Amino acid sequence: MDPDTQARAAAEAVARQAYGRLLATLAKRTGDLAHAEDALSGAFAKALETWPTRGLPDTPDAWLLSVARRRLIDEARKAATHRAHEAELIGRIETLAAEDVDQALPDDRLSLMLVCAHPDIDPAIHTPLMLQTVLGLDAARIASAFLVKPAAMSQRLSRVKARIKEAKLSFELPDAAHLPERLQPVLDAIYAAYGTGWDALGEDEGRIKGLADEARFLASLTAQLCDHSAEAHALCALIDYCEARKPARRSADGRFIPLSGQDTALWDHTLIDKAEERLRHAMTLASPGRFGLEAALQSVHVERRVTGQTNWRAAASLYDTLVSTTSAGFGARVARASAHGEAFGAETALSLLAQLQDSGAAYQPYWAALAHWKKRAGQNAAAQAAFQRAAALSTDPAVREYLLSQAETD
């Protein structure tokens, strides 16, 4: 491997493993997310410039933190205003040299997520802000997930970072009395991050590859902090159910395999048992909310390893409750239509999907579901067109190939 490629691979590995921890550490000292992000971005650029010729440092994440710290100090010293605050700020940043660079970095990511969920911040931006700052997603990918234009999302994120700085919001963990009100946005962000990592299994993006693992860790960390939260434990269960099925999602030659066609022998049964235990514990704490219901749906699916079939009527009922009683999004409504189709027939699925057509224009799972049920209903020409539309919207080559193959079969 040539030096440039090796340096880039190392930088990508650090980004996957430590971006959120590095940014949280810097932001906690400065109280300024935007400047911390700029400094960290500059440190990554410096790494790609120097590592190929000088070699990789023994501790790349500590090297990056040190460079970012120096950049922040230089910027503060050049500032022409707020001199009193400047001295205090430089002092806080300089503590990083003694505290963090030569030892294991503290994990301040959960603190940063709770800052992003502060009640003084518009609730609509809580999850997008966490996805960008803690989990490193760019505005374009976040905008796609929330069905808005990238420029609009970028502007919203910039404004809220300025708001955090102006209001001097605390980067410390809130006390127990205020923790519950911030918990749901944190869980929503972890869920969205895991979903992004799950969907990107076939993508060749360094930052995205480790996102599912990072989200899983943060879910576990949140459940430890909020041990009495049913939803925190349910989210852990939900993620473990999905992780258990990961070995069966691709064939040996990399082909996409839908859930209905997966070999249950390849599922991680130990992890399924762990998820079942976690879900039962969540149910003892409170009635199921969004993540409890979604975990229960996964439990219905994994029962196929024992019974050989899926209880679609139970799944349809759970989706009805999920859609009517929680904040579950558009994807849950699409999945609900498919569950009803399996339980009650193709015409039922198509009727429910027809109610969603105005919002599904750019949503790949909607077109994949529509294609599947058009095909089941014998509407082959319409099914073929929908499969092609779904394939065009897919970013995963294996999924795209599967959808196109379905379009070609009667």
For 189-228, the DSSP string reads HHHHHHHHHHHTTT---HHHHTHHHHHHHHHHHHHHHTTT
Q: What is residue 256's DSSP assignment?
A: B
pLDDT number for residue 363? 92
CA 396 from chain centre, in angstroms, equals 17
Question: Which amino acid, 154?
Answer: S
Could you give the CA distance from residue 76 to residue 204 in angstroms, rounded to a whole number?
38
The set of residues, in sequence order, having a beta carbon less than 8 Å from that of 351 and lying 6+ positions away, is none
Could you give the CA distance from residue 5 to residue 11 in angstroms, rounded to a whole number?
10
Computed from CA positions of residues 141, 328, 182, 217, in that sequence, does the dihedral angle turn out positive or negative? negative
Q: If DSSP codes are grouped into helix, strand and coil, which group holds residue 250? A: strand
Question: Which amino acid, 86?
Answer: E
Q: What is residue 172's DSSP assignment?
A: S
pLDDT tens for the chain, 410 residues long, are 677 777 777 776 776 667 777 888 888 777 778 888 888 888 888 888 888 888 878 888 888 888 888 888 877 776 644 555 555 555 554 555 444 444 444 567 777 788 888 888 888 888 888 887 777 777 777 777 676 788 888 888 888 888 887 777 766 666 667 777 788 888 988 898 888 778 766 554 445 556 788 788 889 888 987 889 999 999 999 999 999 999 999 999 999 999 999 999 999 999 999 999 999 999 999 999 999 999 999 999 999 999 999 999 999 999 999 999 998 889 999 999 999 999 999 999 999 999 999 888 889 999 999 999 999 999 999 999 999 999 999 988 999 999 999 988 76
pLDDT number for residue 170? 67
pLDDT number for residue 287? 94
Buried/exposed 124-137: b ≥16 CB within 10 Å, e otherwise: ebbbbbbbbbbbbb
Q: If DSSP codes are grouped into helix, strand and coil, which group holds residue 290? A: helix
Listed by start position, the domains of the chain span 1-106, 108-225
Computed from CA positions of residues 352, 358, 359, 360, in that sequence, does the dihedral angle turn out positive or negative? positive
Could you give the CA distance from residue 201 to residue 87 in angstroms, rounded to a whole number?
46
Please answer whether residues 100 and 106 qualify as being in contact, where contact means their C-beta atoms are separated by less than 8 angstroms. yes
Q: Cα dihedral angle (379, 382, 388, 392), rounded to 10 degrees?
A: -130
